[in-house]
Amino acid sequence: MKNAIETYDLTKVYNNNFTAVNSLNLEIPNKSIFGMLGPNGAGKTTTIKMLTCLIQPTSGSATVGGYDVRKNPDEVRNLLGMVPQQVSLYKDLTIIENSQMCADYYGVPRDERDDRIEDLMELVDIKYAKDKLISQLSGGQKQKASLVASLVHRPDILFLDEPTIGLDPTTKRTLWDLITELNDNGHTIILCSHDMHEVDMLCDNVGIINTGNLVAYDTPQGLKDSLLESNKSQLSDTLAEISSQDKVSKSTKTDLENINLRKMSVLLKNQNDEIIDVIKKSSHVKSIEIAHNGRLNLRIDAFDELAVQDVLKDIISSGGIVKSIYTEEPSLEDVFIKATSEVDENARA
């Protein structure tokens, strides 16, 4: 089986006639980590609910682990684990009691059950709260409890709907490690998140959903590369516009500058006027600004692959000692904003 999940024109129209997911076609390769991005209300949770057989699609279909969500919901449920956006554990039971119920539902052998729960509680660091009721836990602790309960039957396919929201930075990292480890052991992960860094770092593929449709799908790097490509073509369009005009408007000029230039920031150990002069004359450097903390903020050619290297060469050959350097690349956030900027207001309401 190549794909853990396939959807064919998957559609959900809610009772109030609102179309939340609109003919979604999506493939998620087996044993991969898939990141699902999209603005609030885009249809991510609705999609996950259909794939986990919590709600029925209105039309279209989907397979999970090769099973059809309509025809074989029991088989689908057996394959998957789910950490929902809203924690759905029994509030007047403890983590252990909730996890035991899940384990029994999925037929986890009794002699393994409690050890597994213990190990998972240890893994996400929640053992200290094992005697508390779910209703007595903090938001982040509830998330952890939800993870324990959803992992106890070792699901092949794990759905995580914004699992790190409200988690402290240390716990977030623990969860990221856990996701990576599960994936290394062959589990497929579907991760819904608004944390671009998280998605960029963890996911093999990313799909961006907007008003119920898939508007972009690629690897994180592929998405960023295509943004650069699209910026390049926007640049040539803008240049064409300029050549056809007598006077160039201020906004066209700003557009042009924004597309054409990117940031490079350098901190030198031995900054002096001579080196600054060399940098100013470096062929790719369009502007230079010395920040309060001594960093040199440069604007350089956005599309020349050798621009950074050439600027560095000039700095080093003039005797500059580089303490730190960073460049600003297009981020997944830039891709997200571009891909979701053209919103059909009618489809949102």
Ligand X SMILES: Nc1ncnc2c1ncn2[C@@H]1O[C@H](COP(=O)(O)OP(=O)(O)OP(=O)(O)O)[C@@H](O)[C@H]1O
Which residues within the stretch 21-50 sit at the binding site for Mg ion (CB under 5 A)?
A: 44-45
Binding partner selected for residue 196 from Mg ion, ligand X, none, CB under the kind-specific 5 to 8 Å limit: none
Task: Give residue 282's identity as a one-letter amino acid code.
Answer: S
CA dist 110 and 108 (Å) reads: 6
> What is the smallest separation between the CB atom of 288 and Mg ion, expressed in angstroms?
44
Residue number, 120 or 191, with CB nearest to ligand X = 191
Q: What is the dihedral of CA 100, 103, 107, 108, to 10 degrees?
A: -100
Backbone torsions φ then ψ of 64, nearest 5 degrees: -125, 120
* Binding residues for ligand X, total number by CB under 6 A: 13
* 42 lies in the site for ligand X, by CB under 6 A: yes
Residue number, 53 or 95, with CB nearest to ligand X = 53
Stretch that binds ligand X, among 38-46, 137-145, 263-271, 332-340 (CB under 6 A): 38-46
> What is the smallest separation between the CB atom of 51 and Mg ion, expressed in angstroms?
13
> What is the smallest separation between the CB atom of 278 and Mg ion, expressed in angstroms?
52
Distances (CA, A) of 297 to 151, 288, 327: 47, 6, 10
Which residues within the stretch 51-110 sit at the binding site for ligand X (CB under 6 A)?
A: 85
Residue number, 99 or 211, with CB nearest to ligand X = 211
Out of 16, 185, 243, 244, the only residue in the binding site for ligand X (CB under 6 A) is 16
* 40 lies in the site for ligand X, by CB under 6 A: yes
CA dist 264 and 301 (Å) reads: 10
CA-wise closest residue to 339 among 239, 236, 206, 233: 206
Q: Which residues contact 81 (CB under 8 A, 6 or more apart)?
A: 150, 151, 153, 155, 157, 158, 159
* 211 lies in the site for Mg ion, by CB under 5 A: no
* 163 lies in the site for ligand X, by CB under 6 A: no
CA dist 205 and 46 (Å) reads: 20
Stretch that binds Mg ion, among 80-88, 105-113, 245-253, 304-312 (CB under 5 A): 80-88
CA atoms 129, 135, 138, 142: torsion sign: positive
Binding positions for ligand X, rule: CB under 6 A: 14, 16, 18, 20, 38, 40-46, 85
